[in-house]
Structure 1
Amino acid sequence: MSTQLPAPAAPAEHGGESIARERRDRRIAGLPRPVEPGLTRWQRFRNGPLGWLTLAFLPFCAFLLWLTYRMYEVTITTAVGDYTEQQTGTRSTPTIAQFNEALWKCTRLAFVTLAIGLVLYFLIDRLRPTTLRLKAVALAWGGAVAVFASSMINTWASTMVTADETDELGSVRAAIFIAPFVEEAAKATILFLLAILVRHRLLSVIQMVTMAGLSAVGFAVVEDIVYYVRMYLYGSLAYGVDADGALRQIFYLRGLLTCWGHPLFTTFTAIGVGVALRNRSKVVRVVAPLAGYCFAVCAHMGFNGSQSVGVSTGLLIAVGAFLIVFLLLRYIRLVLAESRQMRARLQDFVSNGWLGVHDPIMFSRYRARLKLICAAALRGPRCLVATVRLIHDMSELAQVRLGVVNGLTGAAAVGRERELLLSIRALRGRALDNTDGLTVKPPTWTWHNLTAWVRAHLPRRRPRTPFYAPPPPSQVPIGAPRR
């Protein structure tokens, strides 16, 4: 049984040509760039283009959110003024202060939907979790880029299908036949961009579903804010209407009962993209994303159409619950299949002596990984960071080997496997890698040690210097001789 790591690729006659060839092979195979030894994390971030793209992308999303705010501020205030003039005969246009007050009040309600979506997708993406940077990019794309692009295209397209201002069915036609195509394409574009730029980070269908779900959650939250503000201002400026009651009603309907709509539709496209990434057939790589996108558009179209024709909310919730339960069962099946594949691929390294005998079991089970993370969190930040990195490297190592077995990557995978094995070997002493006999609570956490620690870190009172009052002046009789 050999204990030496895989040998790196044989160098070419010129070192520069060898490095360039290796980078090209890795880029074609969807693997990260070779790790240059001796560089710090900041130097690797500075040399990589993806970090700078992320730094430029987030301010761009903030700028698009500002443009969206300005656009809807004009649109909503104009619509509210037209509505009040039609209902009461007197035009009442909300001021900027009223609009901002309503926006802040409605944003706090939309944060409830955002929190639900973030918790859900963080729990889903646990077997091979994506990085926080990718999650932030997907959420920002859906909340800024997808919303801005969809609003511009939908506004232009709705004018094309509307005959004149008296055509009441123009908005209905746009919501059914235009909005699903535009919105699903805008939300899912981030999946294709990530598949091109960081294909080595998206290792499974579950990760694609997570990215799509976060993009859809960001889109849904911003869209809900627009609906909330419009409804609240309508009720505030119309006589005899309870604005707070109307806001609570639309929040209960959109923010809670039907908040699954956008994430569910985009999930179908994500499944198609995820299947295409892990398949060798060129036909499947083209047909699977298109099929997923078409299914998402049809589901979105049916949802909007059912609301337009007056289908009860209970029926929509029942259909959505059925689809969600079906996807949850499919998710459980995918998790079990990926766990078996990870265990089998890590076992290949055990047979060569590069990994321990217990590693395939420890790092392919969800409960074992969760126990390692919880125990590491109670043993200090250094142990936690090392354990999380070890789990991540094990997951990527199994995925690289799976790509070799399936014929998706060739000789370029050998160098990446060597880098991951070296990183795993360096993390062994600091990270937790075995749950046998491991307790989540550290053995040093006893009541005696806890009280001693508290006493050592409590602020001690400094002893006060005794203060004595000055002696009273001596009572000398007046006229007495002084000594």
Structure 2
Amino acid sequence: MTLAPRPDRRPALRKWLIIALIAICFALGGLGMLVLVDDQSGVVGTALGLVLSLIVIGIVVPVFLWLDRFEREPTGMLVFALLWGACIATFVASVFNDVGSVLIDPVVASHPSAATWVAPVVEESLKGLGPLLLLLFRRREVDGVVDGMVYAGLTAAGFAAVEDVVYLAAGYAQAGDRGLFSTFLVRVVMSPFAHPMFTVCTGIGIGIAATTPHRLLRWVAPFTGWCCAVTLHGVWNLGAVLSQHGWLVFYVLLQLPLFAAFITLIVLARRHEARLIAHELGHYVDRGLLTAAEVVMLSSIKERRYALAWAERHGGDPSKDEMRELQDAASELAMVRARIDRGDATPRVATEEQHLLDIVGRSRQQFLDTALYRYYDDTGLTTS
């Protein structure tokens, strides 16, 4: 009697060991930050800071999830980015910022110059390291500039939330409710997107590095993005130091224009991704693998929502799941096709393209020749 070969469980074991190690590192970093804040501001201030800082997560994270709607990133990687910023980057930055402040002036604790010259370099380096690690170890999941922006933004959101705990708790410890309110107003209400605005520059560089065929640009782009992030962060902190008695002027002249530019960048990035999906999927219309109407649906968030609702209404949850699989696979297919257009036509990429084409081909079958596409003619244009 021949026994079946025993399955090799080492890859799965290795995977869970890595996950456990990462979780332990995050837990230690988060615990370290809690101990630091509690030691400086007490239990009540720390608790109040934790609760109020959740508002930052509630404001910032949905913006980057909105940006991530077309080609949704794996949940585990999104959580990694958020926790890297919240647990690792904050804890290590607090240590290096203190060291930098001591080197500038051993007598004065938290010297103002450290906020301008040390903190931007330290914090943007540590925040940028998170999405850079994702690029190095999960290269296939980083498909472009939008992905880099999403991972960098979530890392910065986690960092900002924990940093706000520090400042909110210190405000309460120093001046009670008045200090807590003033800190909440300045940091949470008026500038929740400060850190994401800086670190998104690094994310753009990482996204360019992930897509460019030029080897030199793969190194130059992230470094240039990091330089922009450090510069913006330094200018922001310098303005805050210089305008302690004129913060409203600083807010109107610097913070609001930067915020407007940031929102514009986010909107333009998502529109660009929609156009990219439409363009790349158009290659498959000529080959008869997709219709023009399907491409219009797949390159519009509004039409995707309509298609999901239609599928659920006419086929229940199984039909909705099939439509979601079609949309997700089509987005991935568009990104793979873009890599092929850039010259990355390796056998592995060709195999991945064919795999996604098989998923798209299977998922679309039940929706062909249905009323789902009644708003489009054969050119994909809306009809009255």
1:337–1:389 distance in 2 versus 1, CA, 3 Å: same
Match of residue 100 from structure 2: 157
Q: Tell me the equivalent position of 1:436.
A: 373
Q: Secondary structure at the match of 2:192?
A: coil
Quote the Cα distance in structure 2 between the aligned partners of 1:252 and 1:56. Answer: 38
1:50-81, Cα deviation, whole Å (9 max, x unpaired)? 6663454234312211122223333x15xxxx
Q: Which residue of 2 aligns with 1:177?
A: 117
Q: Please, which moves more after superposition, 182-191 or 355-364?
A: 355-364
Instruction: Assess if the C-alpha contact under 8 Å between 1:209 and 1:271 holds in 2.
Output: yes
Give ranges in structure 2 of 5+ residues lacking alignment.
Answer: 1-6, 376-384
What is residue 109 of structure 1 aligned with on the other side?
52
Which 5+ residue runs of structure 1 have no aligned equivalent?
A: 1-38, 78-98, 236-242, 439-483
Q: Distance in 1 between the 2:326 and 2:9 partners?
A: 19
Does the alignment pair 1:65 with 2:30?
A: yes
1:50/1:343 CA distance change after superposition, 3 Å: farther
1:296 equivalent to 2:229? Answer yes
Structure 2 counterpart of 1:270: 203
| CA distance 1:354–1:52, change in 2 (3 Å) | farther
- Preserved contact between residue 285 and residue 291 of structure 2 (Cα < 8 Å): yes
Q: Given the alignment of the two structures, is residue 120 of structure 1 paired with residue 63 of structure 2, yes or no?
A: yes
Quick one: distance in 2 between partners of 1:289 and 1:320?
A: 24
1:194 pairs with one of 121, 127, 134: 134
Deviations 1:6-27 (A, max 9, x none): xxxxxxxxxxxxxxxxxxxxxx
Q: Is the 8 A contact 1:265 1:296 kept in 2?
A: yes
Specify the alignment match of 1:249 in structure 2: 182
Count of aligned pairs between the two proteins: 365
1 CA distance for matches of 2:371 and 2:290?
A: 12
Aligned 8 A contact 2:146 2:273 in 1: no
Superposed CA RMSD in Å reads 2.8
CA positional deviation for 1:408: 2.9
Preserved contact between residue 368 and residue 435 of structure 1 (Cα < 8 Å): no
Structure whose alpha-carbon radius of gyration is higher? 1
Provide the C-alpha distance between the structure 2 equivalents of 1:52 and 1:245, rounded to a whole number of angstroms.
47
Alpha-carbon distance between aligned partners in 1 of 2:363 and 2:60, rounded to the nearest angstrom: 33
- The aligned residue for residue 395 of structure 1 is 331
Alpha-carbon distance, 1:124 to partner: 1.9
Whether 2:161 is the aligned partner of 1:221: answer yes
> Quick one: percent identity of the two aligned structures?
24
> In structure 2, what is the Cα distance between the partners aligned to 1:162 and 1:383?
65
Structure 2 partner of 1:410 = 346
Letter in 1 for 2:229: A
Aligned partner letter, 2:59: I
1:457 alignment partner in structure 2: none
Give me the whole-angstrom Cα distance separating, in 2, the residues matched to 1:270 and 1:45: 34
Alpha-carbon deviation of 1:363? 0.9
Match of 2:378 in 1: none
Instruction: Give, in angstroms, the shift of residue 103 of structure 1.
Output: 1.9
Q: Name the aligned partner's letter for residue 170 of structure 2.
A: R
Could you tell me which of 145, 148, 154 is aligned with 1:205?
145
Distance change >3 Å, CA 45–CA 406, structure 1 → 2: farther
Q: Distance in 2 between matches of 1:109 and 1:333?
A: 31
Q: Residues of 1 paired with 2:197 and 2:344: CA distance? A: 29
8 Å CA contact 2:38, 2:46 repeated in 1? no
Residue matched to 1:314: 248
1:23-62 correspondence to structure 2 within 5 Å: 47=12, 53-62=18-27
What displacement does 1:382 show? 3.4
- Normalised TM-score (structure 2): 0.86
- Secondary structure class of the residue paired with 1:408: coil
Q: 1:181 to 1:434 in 2, by over 3 A?
A: farther
Per-residue CA distance 1:299-355 (angstroms, 9 max, x = gap): 111111112122533333332322232333344433333323322322222322333
Counterpart CA distance in 2 for 1:281 and 1:108 is 46
**Does residue 303 of structure 2 align to residue 368 of structure 1?**
yes
Query: Which residue, 167, 173, 187 being the options, matches 1:233?
Result: 173
Give yes or no for the alignment of 1:336 onto 2:271: yes
Q: For 1:207-241, what per-residue CA distance to the aligned partner results, in whole angstroms no more than 9, with x for missing partners?
A: 21111111111111111111111221223xxxxxx
1:413/1:303 CA distance change after superposition, 3 Å: same
Give the partner amino acid of 2:353: E
Residue 202 to residue 45, structure 1, CA distance change in 2 (3 Å): farther
3-state SS of paired residue (1:428): helix
Pairing 1:132–2:75 present: yes
1:285 corresponding residue in structure 2: 218
Shift of 1:146: 0.4
Is the CA contact 1:362–1:368 (under 8 Å) kept in the aligned structure 2? yes
